[in-house]
Structure formats: C-alpha cells, structure tokens
Structure 1
Amino acid sequence: MTNRSTTMRKTAPGADNVGTEAAARVADVLLLFAGGPRYLGVSAISRELGISKAVVYRILQSLVSREVLATDEGAAGYRLGPAAVALGASALRRFDARVAATPVLRRLREETGETTTLSGLVGDERVYLDQFESPREIKMTVDLGTRFPLHAGSSGKVILAFLPAERREAVLSRPLAALTERTVTDEAALREELAAIAAGGVAVSLGERQADAGSVAAPLIGPDGEVHGSISVCGPRYRFTPEAVDRYRALVRDAAEEIRRGWTWLRDSVTGAG
C-alpha cells in the first residue's frame, strides 16, 4: 500500500472570486470572436466589454500562446487560432443532436421544398449550426455560426418560450431591438406570443428577423428536459401562406420529436458510454 502525502494550501479571502472574474473575462473575450468579425483588436474588445486595454492585451497574449487565438502578418487584430478550431470541431462531434438531426432535416427539406436549419442555444443567444438548402432557385440560406437574439424570428422565439423562467426573464428585461419593422419589441405582446408558442410547441415568423423571410420552428428538448436549440423550415415569405404554415407546423413539430428520441449525448456523457 502506498502512502500519499497531500499538501494543503490556504486560499486568501476573495481569491476564488478573483479567479472566477478572470475566467469570466477570458470567456467573454472568446465569445466576441464567435459572433463578431474575423479580426478583433485590443481597442474594440476593450470598448465592447468595458475592460481596460492592459487587461485585454494580457488575455489576448495568453490565448495566443496557447494557439486559441492567432495573428496574421499585415492584418490588424487577432483571429481564432487552430486550438479554437479543434475545440469547435470536438464540440460539434459531441453534439449528438446534430447527428440525430441530419437525416431528419434532410427529409424535412424534401417534404417542404424549403431550407431546413438547426440552431443551438449559446448563452442568451442562438447560432445556426447546420442547414440543408432548398433545391429551388429562389430560396433562403443562413449564416452558420453567427449569433442572433432570441426575441426575433421563429428559431429564437421558440427557444425563448421554452427557457426556464429565470433565463427568459433575463432576456425580456433587456431592450428588444427591432431587426425589421415586423420584429415584436413590445414586452407585453411578446410575452403573450411566447405563452402561445409554449402551449402549441411551434413558433412562426413572417419577416421578423429578415424582412422577406418566413419560417416555422420547433424546440429541441434534450434528454435532460431542457431546451438546447431549435429546428426550422425557412424560405421566401411569399411562399409561407396560411395553408403552408399550417402544414409546416405539424411537420416541424414531428421532426423535433424524432430528433429528441435519437438524441443520446446527455445519456452518454453521464454514463461514460461511447
């Protein structure tokens, strides 16, 4: 039997809080790269996060040393590095909902003739993770990896409707930006709509995020019972007639349920399977 000695270290009062704050700053800097322009400089990050340039510079240099960020000769600012790309690829491989969604969304595209999408919840926003483009000449396509607010568009609203009350209230307590003239920015009206979405399990948008786009979305509920994203059918608004929307409601709701049944990532992460 081997004896092991353990060294006890006293932690200074408040040290845990300082460490947590520092980690949060690093995370905030990285999240700016996830949804912003390809290159970001010290001044832009400092303004956006309200952190001093000296602190931002130290964070950036630390991330560069670990290849999470990188710089290019002749380019102003920093970009995501190879380590960040590797982390992103690993996350996508582990996001089994994406694997489960692929055949379902392909079939949904064939059934509707419209583009189908998969969105993931990131903080209090969402990003498109995948899309299967319509075969039609006039169609809608989306920007993968770009962050969007939850209050505008069906993919965001359906996530917002199914969030835990505390997180939903945090989103609704902030100013609601109008992305188009059809974006619902009145808090009372939006709350009423979210209640209807939660009851029906489907959200509809006609020009709320993009003026000429229509979409119908359903939530992706994980094995833990929480909403982790959404799927949608989207296309030119003029094709989203009341009859088409009614048909898409049922198709999208059934597709989301099928994906949920095939979703095993949480079970595997808990049991260590795979």
Structure 2
Amino acid sequence: MRTTNRPASGTVQSVDRAVTILELLAVHGTAGVTQLARELGVHKSTASRLVAALERRRLVEQVEDRGHYRLGVGVLKLAGATTARLDLAQEARPVCRRLAADTGETVNLAVLSGGAVLYVDQVSGTSTLSSYNWVGQHIPIHASSNGKVLVSELDGTELTRMLGELVAYTPSTVTDRALLEDELAQVRQRGFAVATDELDVGLTAVAAPVRDAHGDVVASVSVSGPSFRFDEARIAEILPLVRTATTEISSRLAHVPPER
C-alpha cells in the first residue's frame, strides 16, 4: 500500500506519512516499523520517528509483541468526539425543523470548536427567501448569540483562552472585555443571548443553551433573521419557542433540569 502524489513540503509530507501510518494500522490491525517503512517507501529510521510521534499522542500503541503497533486510545477519543457531534445533530434535527416551521426563520445548531463557534446544522424557515448556509462555518464567539451562550459559563481563564482578540466586525460588535463579561453574566442569569447587527449589519439572532446529562452547555440553538423583522416584540415571541426547543434537545441528551 504505497502512497502516491505525496506533497513535497517536508512538514506536510510528514503529516501525510503519519496519517498513512494510521490508515495502514487500520487495515492491518498491527504492523512493525519495518513493514510500515516498506509500505510508506521510506527509511526505517523515518518510519520510527513518525511512529514515536504518534505514540506520544497515544494515537498508536505497542502491542505485547514489542516492535509492533496498533491504533491507540487517542484515535478512539477523536472518533468519540465526532460521534458525539453526529449524535447531537441527529437528536436536534427534528426539533430544529419544528422550530423553523413555528418561527418561519432560520434555525442553527452550533458547538464550540477551536476557539470559534462551529455551525453543525441549519434549517431554513418559510420566511427566509434565501439564507446563507452557515453549516461548517467557524464564527467568532463574541460577535454571535450562539457564541455568547456557549461560553457564558466558562471561568475567566478558559474564557480568555477561547475568546482571543475581540475583533470588531460591525460598529455594534462588543470589543470591550469588561462589557462582554457583563453581557455573559446576563446570559447566564437569563438563559439566552441576543446579538443584533454584531456579526453582520442587518442580522439578528436569539440563542439558548443545550445541556448534556451533566448539566454542561454542549451546544446552542439560534433563530436568526433580518434585524428589521426582529424587533423587541418579535424577539419576545420567538424566545419561548427557542427555549422549549433547547429544553427538548437537552432532554434527548439525558439532561434533567434541577428542581425549582
């Protein structure tokens, strides 16, 4: 199983070879460095360095027959994260469809990913003539209602790590850290966030949290549309529907709300 058309860049080539090692182990189950080197078409010392790097990240591990390797628990961790995200989207999809039908607006399901908001699913409503497809897009945390919901319960250190630089995307984007923290405190208290003209002028979104069995915020659901349509009265109509939807999705993820 020799790879072809491998990139010329040294760093990219190393990454390509490391991924190929994972693919080879997935096919063979176990393999020694000599075999891996032969199938990669590289010197044994090169294969050994690549395997060592993967082993440090627990992506591969030695079997009892030392010198032979198999996929490690690190791969299971990555696969588990992907499966959890797919499960979330699957459980949320019918609820988001109903929310889009009830509001007539665009509904998005989002999670945190790499210091940004990742949109994992979207359903367009009947009032939407043409809606931009946000699925797969990474959106700045501080400029979106979903982002504010997703980081509203993080402590200061984790919040700082997630936020990074507070860039202004419109005149309405909150770029002052103290003001943003005040707003996040309100989001925590109220259980929802609103962003008006903060990412794009003319776009307003209302979001609420989705919680898992431990009560942690693992996702958010937003309803968005043109700002001229999202006045205070309209937001007041939409908000209960969003909260009902996120409560149902949370229930599907085994979340049990605390007794009041």
Q: Does 1:57 align with 2:13?
A: yes
> Kindly tell me: are residues 88 and 177 of structure 1, through their superposed partners in 2, closer, same or farther at Cα, counting changes over 3 Å?
farther
Mark the runs of 5 or more structure 2 residues left unpaired by the alignment.
1-6, 25-77, 256-260
The RMSD of aligned alpha carbons is 2.8
**CA-to-aligned-CA distance 1:125-176 (integer Å, 9 cap, x gap):** 221111111223535333211112211110111111133443213234x321
The residue number in structure 1 matching 2:140 is 149
Q: TM-score with structure 1 length normalisation?
A: 0.64
Separation of aligned partners in 1, 2:233 and 2:94: 25
Larger radius of gyration: 2
The residue number in structure 2 matching 1:103 is 94
Deviation at 1:179, TM superposition (A): 1.8
Q: Identify the structure with bigger relative contact order (alpha carbons < 8 Å, sequence gap 6+).
A: 1
Equivalent residue letter for 1:191: E
Q: How many residues align?
A: 197
Deviation at 1:209, TM superposition (A): 1.2
> Kindly tell me: are residues 98 and 158 of structure 1, through their superposed partners in 2, closer, same or farther at Cα, counting changes over 3 Å?
same
Q: TM-score with structure 2 length normalisation?
A: 0.67
Please say which of residues 189-198 and 162-171 is displaced more in the overlay.
Answer: 162-171
Deviation at 1:223, TM superposition (A): 1.1
Separation of aligned partners in 2, 1:169 and 1:96: 29
Q: Does 1:159 align with 2:150?
A: yes
Separation of aligned partners in 2, 1:207 and 1:65: 47
Separation of aligned partners in 2, 1:231 and 1:135: 18
Contact map agreement 1:97 1:260 (CA 8 A) in 2: no
Separation of aligned partners in 2, 1:164 and 1:253: 24
Contact map agreement 1:108 1:251 (CA 8 A) in 2: yes
Q: Does 1:119 align with 2:119?
A: no
Separation of aligned partners in 1, 2:150 and 2:82: 20
Deviation at 1:248, TM superposition (A): 1.6
Q: Does 1:223 align with 2:213?
A: yes
SS in 2 for 1:215: strand
Deviation at 1:261, TM superposition (A): 0.4
Equivalent residue letter for 1:155: N
The residue number in structure 1 matching 2:188 is 198
**CA-to-aligned-CA distance 1:71-120 (integer Å, 9 cap, x gap):** xxxxxxxxxxxxxxxx8899357632222211111111111110111112
Separation of aligned partners in 2, 1:187 and 1:55: 37
Contact map agreement 1:114 1:136 (CA 8 A) in 2: yes
Deviation at 1:218, TM superposition (A): 0.5
SS in 2 for 1:210: coil
**CA-to-aligned-CA distance 1:179-238 (integer Å, 9 cap, x gap):** 222111011111111100110000001111122211100111111222111101011111
The 5 A counterparts of 1:1-274 are 54-63=10-19, 91=82, 95-172=86-163, 174-264=164-254
Separation of aligned partners in 1, 2:230 and 2:189: 22
Separation of aligned partners in 1, 2:96 and 2:151: 21
Percent of residue pairs identical: 34
> Kindly tell me: are residues 88 and 152 of structure 1, through their superposed partners in 2, closer, same or farther at Cα, counting changes over 3 Å?
farther
Separation of aligned partners in 1, 2:237 and 2:127: 19
Mark the runs of 5 or more structure 1 residues left unpaired by the alignment.
1-40, 43-52, 69-86, 266-274
Equivalent residue letter for 2:102: E
Contact map agreement 2:92 2:249 (CA 8 A) in 1: yes
**CA-to-aligned-CA distance 1:20-60 (integer Å, 9 cap, x gap):** xxxxxxxxxxxxxxxxxxxxx88xxxxxxxxxx63343123
SS in 2 for 1:162: coil
